[in-house]
Structure 1
Amino acid sequence: MLLAGCGGEGPVKTQIEEARKVVFLSARGERPFETGQRNLLARLTANDARYQIQILDAGFSAETQRRQFQEAMAQAPYAIVLDALETAGLESDVRAAVAKGVQVIGLGESSVPLGCTSVLVADQKKLGQLAGELVVKALKAKAADAGQGEAAGRVVEIRGDDESLISQQRHEGFEAALKAAPGVILVHDAPGEWSLAGGRDRAADALRLQQSFDIVYAHNDLMALGAAATLKDRRENVMIIGTDGFRGREGGMTLVGDGEIDATVYQPLLVDFAWVLLKKMAETPGFQPKTRYEMPLRTILPKDVDDIRRNGLPKYPEF
Structure 2
Amino acid sequence: MRKLLTAATVAATALFASANAQAADTIALVVSTLNNPFFVTLKNGAESKAKALGYNLLVLDSQNDPAKELANVEDVVNKKVKLLLVNPTDSDAVRSAVRSANRAKIPVVTLDRSANGGEVASHIASDNVAGGRMAGQLVVDMLKGQGAVVELQGLPGASAARDRGKGFHEVVDKASGLKVVASQPADFDRTKALNVMENILQAQQKIDVVFAHNDEMALGAAKAIQASGRKIPVVGFDGTDEGVAAVNAGALAATVAQQAGLIGEKGVETADKVLKGEKVPAFTPVELKMVTK
- Please say whether Structure 1 and Structure 2 have the same fold, judged by a TM-score greater than 0.5: yes
Q: Identify the residue that residue 30 of structure 2 maps to in structure 1.
A: 25
Matches within 5 A, 1:1-319: 17=20, 18-28=23-33, 30-42=35-47, 44-45=49-50, 48=52, 50-84=54-88, 85=90, 86-97=93-104, 99=105, 102-111=106-115, 113-140=117-144, 151-232=145-226, 237-246=231-240, 248-249=241-242, 252-269=243-260, 270-279=263-272, 287-302=278-293
Q: How many Å apart are 1:177 and its aligned residue?
A: 1.0
Distance 1:237 1:63 in 2: 41
Q: How many Å apart are 1:216 and its aligned residue?
A: 0.9
Report if aligned partners of 1:220, 1:242 keep a CA contact under 8 Å in 2. yes
Residues 188 and 112 of structure 1: CA distance in aligned 2, closer, same or farther (over 3 Å): closer
Distance 1:49 1:162 in 2: 36
Distance 1:181 1:234 in 2: 28
More helix by proportion, 1 or 2?
Answer: 2
Q: How many residues align?
A: 272
Distance 1:56 1:223 in 2: 24
Residues 210 and 38 of structure 1: CA distance in aligned 2, closer, same or farther (over 3 Å): same
Distance 2:45 2:290 in 1: 22
Distance 2:72 2:227 in 1: 48
Q: How many Å apart are 1:71 and its aligned residue?
A: 2.5
SS at match of 2:170: helix
Distance 1:174 1:181 in 2: 12
Deviations 1:76-110 (A, max 9, x none): 3232211234354334433344x4xx443222453
Distance 1:53 1:124 in 2: 27
Structure 1's unaligned 5+ residue stretches are 1-10, 141-150, 303-319
The letter for the 2-side match of 1:268 is Q
The letter for the 2-side match of 1:257 is N
Q: How many Å apart are 1:128 and its aligned residue?
A: 2.1
TM-score (normalizing by structure 2): 0.78
Report if aligned partners of 2:87, 2:110 keep a CA contact under 8 Å in 1. yes
TM-score (normalizing by structure 1): 0.72
The letter for the 2-side match of 1:173 is G
Residues 56 and 301 of structure 1: CA distance in aligned 2, closer, same or farther (over 3 Å): same
Residues 165 and 111 of structure 1: CA distance in aligned 2, closer, same or farther (over 3 Å): closer
Q: How many Å apart are 1:175 and its aligned residue?
A: 2.0
Report if aligned partners of 1:94, 1:115 keep a CA contact under 8 Å in 2. no
Task: Provide the alpha-carbon RMSD of the alignment.
Answer: 3.2
Residues 272 and 171 of structure 1: CA distance in aligned 2, closer, same or farther (over 3 Å): same
Structure 2's unaligned 5+ residue stretches are 1-11
Q: How many Å apart are 1:299 and its aligned residue?
A: 2.0
Distance 1:256 1:25 in 2: 30
Report if aligned partners of 2:49, 2:269 keep a CA contact under 8 Å in 1. no
Q: How many Å apart are 1:221 and its aligned residue?
A: 0.8
Residues 195 and 61 of structure 1: CA distance in aligned 2, closer, same or farther (over 3 Å): closer
The letter for the 1-side match of 2:151 is E
SS at match of 1:110: coil
Distance 1:170 1:136 in 2: 16
Residues 26 and 264 of structure 1: CA distance in aligned 2, closer, same or farther (over 3 Å): same
Q: How many Å apart are 1:257 and its aligned residue?
A: 2.7
Distance 1:255 1:62 in 2: 31
Deviations 1:278-308 (A, max 9, x none): 45566xx664322321222232212xxxxxx
Higher radius of gyration, 1 or 2: 1
The letter for the 2-side match of 1:83 is N
